[in-house]
Chain A
Amino acid sequence: MSNTLKTYIAAVRATLTAAMCLENFASQHVERHNKPEVEARATPEVLLTPVVISRNENEKVLIEGSVNSVRVSIKIKQADEIERILCHKFTRFMMMRAESFVILRRKPVEGYDISFLITNFHTEQMYKHKLVDFIIQFMEEVDKEISEMKISLNARARIVAESYLLQFP
């Protein structure tokens, strides 16, 4: 199970590093405006082919590139109801703090759980390899965090039930 994880992560890392070659591009439709072209989608010639890297049908990463911005959308593995609720809460928690996160998008792309938007301004201010590291680490830690929360919920439920029933002699 974990050997697919390594190749999956390696593929995502290579694609991200390649896609994150961004340079400044002023909007060709509105004077003096500078928009992330992957969001505006007004000029077809600067948009690159989107790439989907799937580990299985429940986990995939969509990377859409353009000349001055990259949009990375992640679908997190959610096996059952509990994981779905936990994942939903966690991503909503993060997206509400998108301002401090800088590269996070406030709404995920259709069909995915969370999206990042990285523009040339971000790559000018931050190290590119560290940005890629961050996204990879994020993917690994979110899975870990959700399963940890599920385990702690089950443990808590067991303790609560035991304490209540142990009261009866």
Chain B
Amino acid sequence: MILLDSYNKIIESTLRDAFESEQPETINVTAADFDGVTYTIVTPDKTRPNEIVVSMHMGCYPELQRYGADDMLRKEYDSLLHSVGSGGDSSADVVLKIDSKALPEDKESVVKKVAHLKRNALAAPFERAFNAQIAGESSELMTVNYRDEEIFFVQAQADRVTVIFSTTFKDETDRIFGKVFLQEFVDARRQPSIQNAPQVLYSPREPPLELRGVAGLRDSENIAYVTFVLFPRHFATEELRRDAISRIQMFRDYLHYHIKCSKAYMHSRMRARVDSFLKVLNRAKPEKPDDQKEKKTASGRTFKMR
């Protein structure tokens, strides 16, 4: 399981169970996703459990709205979309209403579409940048504060699209492991099989040139900037575009997931090593001489020493 999926497994399995079951049942599920996004899946009307309401809370949604998230979601979800933005009757940012009795032939595709809700919302600035680049213009620097102390920037230029992540390492160990991992990302391009991947640049504390002059950037030892340079061939077709957006979105979570995994691996290695040391140390203890040893019968009863 090296790669992370861009869809939410909890939504997928809940909806799949709901669609495949004979009798629709009431559902009340609260789930969380990466980057502080939460979902609630409920059947609000007990008498009509085929009506499922999926709502998503996303802290950075107002920013995404500025970059055209509403239109994107309308295009993608069409009739399933109930409301966007926190102006409507609920406090959630996006609300979808699904009728499990009135589904199209291909139920799987509806399941997958809803599970990709977060990805589709976050895709807005990317789509805008890709469209601008294909039209040959450059776009503004789009900022999304998708996590508490972490931001990503997207900007289209004449011949490329740049995506910059500013990621924070809360732990000293995380920071040093992160340095090793990010250096490998930069160096991986030397391999012939990876020549076509987007170029990755890494800057430990200094913001890269594209961000010079942006206000509100924190300066601390724990911050790293990672830049992805996407060339037109990376988003040439519809499918390539979709894949590229999904993957770039998951980058930060992918990186931190693997840092934590390697810390866990180190721990289990150290535990094994400490056990082997203990075994060696116990070899230093002499065996008790025969008359002091406890003797047991085959069935486990002990002889009493007098």
Using a CB–CB cutoff of 8 Å, the interface residues on chain A facing chain B are 81-82, 85-86, 89-90, 93-94, 97, 100-103, 125-127, 130-131, 133-134, 137-138, 141, 145, 149, 152-154, 156-169
Contacts and interface: CB of A to CB of B under 8 A. Distances in A.
B173 A163 contact: no
Given A125-B285, A149-B266, A160 B181 contact: yes
Main secondary structure of the interface of B (DSSP, over half): helix
Given A126-B286, A145-B273, A165-B188, A86 B196 contact: no
Interface residues of B, number: 47
Contacts of A156: 258, 262, 265
A153 B2 contact: no
B285 to A, nearest CB: 5
Interface stretch (B49-57, B91-99, B138-146, B239-247): B239-247
Contacts of A101: 277-278, 281
A70 to B, nearest CB: 15
B185 A165 contact: yes
Given A81-B176, A89-B270, A169-B240, A161 B185 contact: yes
Contact of B284 (A94, A131, A141): A131
Interface of B: 2-3, 172-173, 176-177, 179-181, 183-185, 187-189, 191, 193-194, 196-198, 200, 234, 240, 243-244, 247, 251, 254, 258, 262, 265-267, 269-271, 273-274, 277-278, 280-281, 283-286
Contacts of A153: 177, 180, 262, 266
A138 B183 CA distance: 32
Q: Is the interface of A mostly helix, strand, loop or mixed?
A: helix
Contact of B274 (A85, A94, A166): A94
A116 to B, nearest CB: 11
